[in-house]
Structure 1
Amino acid sequence: MNKVILLIPHYNNPLGLMASVASIEASEALDVVIVDDGSINERINETAINSAFKSTGKITYIYLENNEGVESALNHGLDYIVKTNQYHFIARLDCGDTCIGKRFEIQEKFLVENPEIKLVGSNAIAVDPKGNFLYKTLLPEKNQEIKNKMFTNNMFLHPTVMFAEDIIAIVGKYPTNYKAAEDYAFFFKIVKEFKTANLPEFLLQYEINPSGISFSKRKVQVWSRIRVIKDNFYLGFWPVYGIIKNLILYILPHSIIQKIKRLKE
């Protein structure tokens, strides 16, 4: 019986879903739950997806009647996972993003060997919609650095994470009142309660898409991030620095931010 389950939200992107599922190595042992967030134009072809999935495990499909938003789709997935009372760890992946190597085996082994750590992410490689390399995303590895820098930005790339299922009973599900920053708010709750880490390995390739949330809802996302910082604020260097930095990001065009990331690379 698999102890890891992968949660993938889907909305009108079956080709991206296919690429994500197909990227999971055959040697991996995990189950998958795909939550369709009310897709209308681009529905899931279950036969094709099941055929692309080569790993040892099963795929479960959940279909929402209406488009409720990604945070709601994720929470429906968490409800299903908790109800099964079967899994020790929950991993995440987004449609179009692809795994590198034995990602889930590596992360599961790390969490088993370090039981005090309840969530782990990794470094990742950013590409454009054609698969061309853009830059590397390097994230802090140690708990205290992550805890401090969470006040400036999300220190986890959402589709790289794996976390212990039992923390849901303590931190709850994804908040729904921080639009386009539900992952940041969720991880902030986890960081406050538990130890976390990022692995130095590059375990994911993710797509920078102009039609994605980071572009189309950037200002909403940054403003939600500012609200998360404010709701967890204390008088200290990192919260103050985080507020100032995100106010600057709110003003700057996203194209300039992407150029800065490339220059760093």
Structure 2
Amino acid sequence: MEDVERRDGGFESKGSAGGLDVCVLIPCFNNQEGLTRSLQSISYQATGLFVMVVDDGSTAPVTAALVKDSLPENYSFHLLSLPENRGITHALNAGLHWIQENLTVRYIARLDCGDVCHQDRFYQQVRFLYQHPLVGLLGSWCRFQSPENGLRFTYTTPTTHAAILDEMHARNVFIHPTVMFRASLVKKIGGYPTTYPFVEDYALFYQMLHHMQGAILNLLLVTCEINEGGISMGNRSGQLKGRYRVVADFGTSPWLKMKGLFKLSLLQVVPYNFVLWVKSRRHRSTETPD
């Protein structure tokens, strides 16, 4: 199959009619305002991008009209409405299953309600994955900010496969809403594992790195909302225990695994507000103006 780069940075496949560059997977539960902001931030060649919204049993259901009206271009989309809320892992897997059954797509990107993409995000990530066939999982640097108290900091990480693997022994280097991965990896590995509650992304990404290389772009391509009522904040204890299990199960370096497990044990007794304060102080010097 011959691939031809388009002038806009996307790609066309000769002999693959109807093929898409990327599908953006967005789960939603009772956050239509955040969903609208996220959808409005999507920017890519309309014929190369598909939007998949999974409404995870919201009290006020997401409507197709809301999705259509929020998208800045005439993107194709599908709204999958689940009958009841069963958690983000189930919602994500339902979305992945629909994508596999109904689309021909190279890459799958993640985005969470309330998080906003830089206008070049999908162009940058599609181009990188196309030019680096050994990379299966790609993230980016991002900016975190809180609409409640004005807390704001940039999140930077290692960018190369070897450095990422080392750091994964202590934390999930990939911020979930920044990732794009090859759809072929999902077919090979399966979806998000259901046996790692609160850290299903960490477990999935670790498995992907056992099959293909990972990389992170040193570009601020997503602004992530700090939501004190969100999953990461409200279930921090369970998340830390889950991270411990992921490192124990998937870590490959005995020394780095031991260090990582010790750090995770220590974090279980440190208040999360203090951790956020340390991160904001550490990254303040790297903050860039809008």
Q: What TM-score range do you get, normalising by the shorter chain? A: over 0.9
Among residues 146, 160, 168, which one is paired with 1:142 in the alignment?
160
The one-letter code matched in structure 1 to 2:85 is N
How far, CA to CA, are the matches of 1:112 and 1:16 in structure 2? 30
2:56 paired with 1:37: yes
How far, CA to CA, are the matches of 1:233 and 1:103 in structure 2? 30
Which runs of 5 or more structure 1 residues have no equivalent in the other structure? none
* 2:212 counterpart residue number: 194
3-state SS, counterpart of residue 140 of structure 1: coil
3-state SS, counterpart of residue 154 of structure 1: coil
Q: Quick check: 2:44–2:122 contact (8 Å CA) kept in 1?
A: no
Shift of the alpha carbon at 1:4?
Answer: 0.7
3-state SS, counterpart of residue 5 of structure 1: strand
Percent identity, aligned pairs only? 33
Query: What TM-score do you get using the length of structure 2 for normalisation?
Result: 0.87
The one-letter code matched in structure 2 to 1:177 is T
* 2:232 counterpart residue number: 214
* 2:128 counterpart residue number: 110
The one-letter code matched in structure 2 to 1:12 is N
Q: Quick check: 1:100–1:203 contact (8 Å CA) kept in 2?
A: yes
2:261 paired with 1:243: yes
Shift of the alpha carbon at 1:78?
Answer: 0.6
2:223 paired with 1:231: no
Q: Alignment RMSD, CA only?
A: 1.5
How far, CA to CA, are the matches of 1:110 and 1:232 in structure 2? 26
The worse-fitting range, judged by mean Cα deviation, of 70-79 and 231-240 is 231-240
The worse-fitting range, judged by mean Cα deviation, of 234-243 and 14-23 is 234-243
The one-letter code matched in structure 2 to 1:7 is L
Q: Aligned runs of 1:7-86 on 2, under 5 Å? A: 7-25=25-43, 27=45, 29-40=48-59, 42-86=60-104
How far, CA to CA, are the matches of 2:34 and 2:192 in structure 1? 23
3-state SS, counterpart of residue 193 of structure 1: coil
How far, CA to CA, are the matches of 2:220 and 2:130 in structure 1? 20
Query: What TM-score do you get using the length of structure 1 for normalisation?
Result: 0.95
3-state SS, counterpart of residue 3 of structure 1: strand
**Alignment length (residue pairs):** 264
Q: Which has the larger radius of gyration?
A: 2
The worse-fitting range, judged by mean Cα deviation, of 226-235 and 110-119 is 226-235
Shift of the alpha carbon at 1:186?
Answer: 0.6
* 1:156 counterpart residue number: 174
